[in-house]
A and B are shown apart, each in its own frame.
Chain A
């Protein structure tokens, strides 16, 4: 039984992890606490639903079209709302409120067109595989494999490509990047696109697994935000690892106590981390003393 809950936790954690690294890409490079990330999650899964159920387009094609479409919507949000705020040199509060307003608008529009009830994306019973005494569904397996592939891709991309290093540089020191001639606009576009694409992939997989409703993006977003903070602000890969840890802990809470305590547990973890290790569990302490 315990193994079953761990498997469920890893699968759910994969969804959180992909969203978290997407959020980290956006937050670290732009410093926008992008609530609309939850909206992008919802747009993707509903576009996916629309394409497969209404337009009868194949599952794989719909999966990628919806992911790309929602990523472009994220770019549009940046161009139409965030960049004008940036140009007016507004405070971070302006971004947060704007982002929240965008999220609420997206959810309301989706509710108007599709209703509030849960939509099932995949009919029939999923194929299952046995792992010891536990079982894993085909979709869960797909979630974990996709997470691992993106994890590997992002690790290589951020470590060994110039664009990856520029993303890390802008996230580390925005002003210095500007002074060195880094094309901030290009890096911002890459961060928004890639970050949103990850959320979209996670959304579609989650939709295939458990279905969706207009509000399904927010709990995942909150868990991703916690994973990002717990992993360490300014870091990318640790956000993905923390996502898995949160997924497993939430699953174990359901196993030992009740599903009612899932979110509360996540935020208790956040509070403990903020109190005792505010730099995150994977960040090292910065050098304090002068050694020369």
Chain B
């Protein structure tokens, strides 16, 4: 589904990723792990288009997306969450989710005026879908609450609802369980599994919590100093004594 071919990216002479090649399988959960500065978030930024590689190319469903803008990639079905929580803070939960729709017909203000009835119907339809996604992530009670008044964990759930509304097929989840209490971690893991099984999503996640990785990932890339060190199933990769030593210090 997604291929990174010999990608290199430097920031002011410091190489963030060097000659990285990766392959991500459709309908699977792939985790990226590695110590801080290993290049995990840089890879997310490269896939989602926030930065461009110095060398190499990125193929998504056999389309070269290397030089596409983030919004063009989002339209192709690549959605992401961020390490720090990001929401449209002055918008309600419902508005946050409605905004993520790909339906652009009524984005045009002229359409709103010229065909008011159709616009109203479209909007109503979109709102109903958004409400279902909000219910799916368990935020129905907060539907009219402004995002800035949600807790950290709730904002993470809101990010999932937005991704679902965005109809992204490939989800890039940057530390989805960081800063979350254990109860909420289980909720989020269940949600990710449901997204893959029931909604046929493909997930790439960055995660420091190895328990989480073992729990949900199908495949695992271990990165260090901007290079891919190992790839395999979580149990195989994490049983490698060298990985254990360099990552967990054990």
**What residues of B have a CB within 8 angstroms of the CB of A260 in the complex?**
none
B74 in complex: contacting residue of A161, A171, A179, A190, CB < 8 Å: A179
- B109 an interface residue at 8 Å Cβ cutoff? yes
- A125 an interface residue at 8 Å Cβ cutoff? no
Map CB proximity to A onto B43-62 as digits: 1 under 8 Å, 0 otherwise. Answer: 00000101000000000000
Q: A165 contacts B99, CB within 8 Å?
A: yes
In the complex with contacts A165-B98, A178-B50, A182-B71, A172-B162 CB distance below 8 A: no
A292 in complex: contacting residue of B69, B106, B151, CB < 8 Å: B151
Rounded to whole Å, the gap between the CB of B70 and the closest CB of chain A is 4
Map CB proximity to B onto A137-180 as digits: 1 under 8 Å, 0 otherwise. Answer: 00000000000000000000100011101101101110111111
Q: B79 contacts A165, CB within 8 Å?
A: no
> What total of A-B pairs shows CB separation below 8 Å?
96
In the bound complex, what is the Cα–Cα distance between A166 and B109 (angstroms)? Answer: 11
In the bound complex, what is the Cα–Cα distance between A179 and B81 (angstroms)? Answer: 8
Q: B71 contacts A178, CB within 8 Å?
A: yes
Q: B99 contacts A169, CB within 8 Å?
A: yes
Map CB proximity to A onto B89-111 as digits: 1 under 8 Å, 0 otherwise. Answer: 11100010011101010111100
In the bound complex, what is the Cα–Cα distance between A240 and B148 (angstroms)? Answer: 23
In the bound complex, what is the Cα–Cα distance between A292 and B139 (angstroms)? Answer: 13
Say which one of A212-220, A267-275, A283-291 lies at the interface with B: A283-291
- B143 an interface residue at 8 Å Cβ cutoff? no
Which of A157, A165, A181 gathers most chain B CB within 10 Å?
Answer: A181
Top-7 shortest CB links A-B: A181-B74, A172-B88, A178-B70, A176-B86, A292-B151, A163-B109, A181-B71
In the complex with contacts A168-B88, A168-B91, A290-B151, A176-B82 CB distance below 8 A: yes
In the bound complex, what is the Cα–Cα distance between A165 and B126 (angstroms)? Answer: 14
| SS class, residues of chain A in contact with chain B | helix
- A184 an interface residue at 8 Å Cβ cutoff? yes
Q: A287 contacts B87, CB within 8 Å?
A: no
**What residues of B have a CB within 8 angstroms of the CB of A287 in the complex?**
148-151
- B154 an interface residue at 8 Å Cβ cutoff? yes
Q: B86 contacts A286, CB within 8 Å?
A: no
**What residues of A have a CB within 8 angstroms of the CB of B48 in the complex?**
179
- A126 an interface residue at 8 Å Cβ cutoff? no
Rounded to whole Å, the gap between the CB of A244 and the closest CB of chain B is 22
**What residues of B have a CB within 8 angstroms of the CB of A163 in the complex?**
107-109, 112
Q: B70 contacts A173, CB within 8 Å?
A: no
In the complex with contacts A168-B90, A234-B90, A290-B152, A180-B181 CB distance below 8 A: no
- B40 an interface residue at 8 Å Cβ cutoff? no
Q: B87 contacts A173, CB within 8 Å?
A: yes
Closest B-chain residue to A290, C-beta based? B151
- B178 an interface residue at 8 Å Cβ cutoff? no
- B196 an interface residue at 8 Å Cβ cutoff? no
Given contact pairs A163-B112, A180-B74, enumerate 18 new A-B contacts (beta carbons under 8 Å): A162-B106, A162-B107, A162-B123, A163-B107, A163-B108, A165-B99, A169-B88, A172-B89, A173-B86, A178-B69, A178-B71, A180-B166, A181-B71, A181-B75, A186-B107, A286-B149, A292-B152, A292-B181
